Chain A
Amino acid sequence: MIDVVNLQKSFGKVEVLKGIDITINKGDIVCVIGPSGSGKSTFLRCLNCMEDPTGGQIIFNGVNIADMHVDINLHRRKMGMVFQQFNLFNNKTVLQNIMLAPVHIGKTELRKAKWHNLFHKDKVEITTTKAQIVADAKENAMQLLRRIGLEDKANVYPSTLSGGQKQRVAIIRAMAMNPDVILFDEPTSALDPEMVGEVLDLMKSLAKEGLTMVIVTHEMGFAREVANRVIFIDEGKILEEAPPEEFFGNPKNPRLKDFLSKVL
């Protein structure tokens, strides 16, 4: 699904990613581990071009999205992202947070189709209406909220939620786009310890459903339990890539051994 080929990223003269190659298949759960400042976030943010790669390719569903000429917004709809700081839209209610993108994109598509039909002979079939788009998005959002047990919070603003609630809303906001893959950047690092569990549980249940995920995390227990592959990034390179049993049980790279001995 995602083919990363010789990915490089520099900020000015600072070379952060020095050629990363990895293939992420449908249903994969890849956990990314490494010391702070090693380029984990940068790697993840290059996958959806939140940072523009300075070299290499990111082939997502057959398209090289690192190419500046592709419409990145189209591809990002299928590639969700969850941030360490949640980043819920502060000026929108919980429900609006979840509905905003599906409604906006649905309406934009509808408008495009109508324009097309105005000027072209080959009509595209229009099967929906604005009201229908909103109704569908709302139903979907409420269903997702029920799933995480927060339907009673639909109409509150994010500032009234706890950290764990915010992050779970952020996750279902990404789910609302029905993405092919979701990228997580240390989703539990900003949480109070007692709230880490609820977020990891939600992620585990998504994993069981076969959602493809790339997760930068310091939760080694979680990585061991959920990932089907763990990668170790240090100084901008992947130094080890293995299934969790092997990764944690029999690490080969000396720096990984050193790292694991410090964190486990």
Chain B
Amino acid sequence: MGSFAKKVDTFLTAFIDNGGYVSVLEGLKNTMIIAVFGLIIGILIGTVIATVRVLPKYKTLPRVLDAICSFYVGLFRGTPIVVQLLVFYYVLLPLMGVHMSSLYVSVIVFGLNSGAYISEIMRSGIQSVDHGQMEAGRAVGLSFGTTMLNIVIPQAVKNILPTLGNEFIALIKETSVVSFVGASDLYKAFNMIGTNSYEFMVPYLVMALIYIAIVMLITLGIKLMERGLRKSDRRS
């Protein structure tokens, strides 16, 4: 146990005296940026794709769009996110001659990736809304899109809120791979502390605790949000 106390000591020195906390805060910020903006982009893309997928398929255009969307979803769900990051950063961007910071690339790739997953979540959410809601909207002369946006999607989002919360948690966990393209996230910060102090046990333990704390906070947030939404149902 004495050696553990020494390890804690080494960590504290690296963390506080040698400014390790700065990079940890920076890493925490980046992790949250990637997860939050990834989720937002994912929800937007996912909603669009889900809408296309439930579109009536009489005409050619919806069918073509549907084929494109299902290719997109298959592509992003069918490959590991690390591979997507690497291909985007080291293959696509250089080919297009574009320079972009690894943080931006991470946000974009995580957004595109979660868009594919969220589209499936959103689709089941949309399908869980009674079809009569769409019919009622169409019957008063609103278009498919308007009814979708004002009536169906808000109800769908409410139904899938817990699942969306899980997706957010999954995103936060997965961000730990962005160091593959050089972005500095939580993992990278603690890895650096470990490397500099030749001691990994305590840094990785603290890192795990921080991840757990974040996940628990978000879970709590989702619970509160759900409770609030349920109240709005009953308001009289």
Contacts and interface: CB of A to CB of B under 8 A. Distances in A.
A159 B158 CA distance: 15
A87 B132 contact: yes
A76 B136 contact: no
Interface stretch (B88-96, B171-179, B189-197, B227-235): B227-235
Interface string A70-96: 000111110011010101111110000
Interface string B135-152: 111111111001000110
Contacts, number: 75
A201 to B, nearest CB: 23
A65 to B, nearest CB: 12
Contacts of A88: 136
A156 B232 CA distance: 9
A50 B141 contact: no
B155 interface: yes
A90 B135 contact: no
Per DSSP, are chain B's interface residues mostly helix, strand or loop, or mixed? helix
Nearest to A174: B140
A232 to B, nearest CB: 25
A87 B140 CA distance: 12
B18 interface: no
Interface of A: 48, 50, 52, 73-77, 80-81, 83, 85, 87-92, 100-101, 104-105, 156-157, 159-160, 170, 173-174, 177
Sorted nearest first, the 7 A-B pairs with minimum C-beta distance are A77-B141, A87-B136, A101-B140, A87-B132, A81-B139, A76-B141, A160-B236
18 contacts: A50-B138, A73-B141, A73-B143, A76-B139, A76-B140, A80-B139, A80-B140, A81-B136, A83-B132, A85-B130, A85-B132, A87-B130, A89-B137, A89-B150, A100-B140, A101-B142, A156-B236, A177-B140
Given A73-B138, A92-B151, A104-B142, 19 more contacts: A50-B139, A75-B141, A76-B139, A77-B141, A81-B136, A83-B136, A87-B130, A87-B133, A89-B136, A89-B150, A90-B133, A90-B155, A100-B142, A101-B141, A105-B141, A105-B142, A157-B233, A160-B234, A170-B136
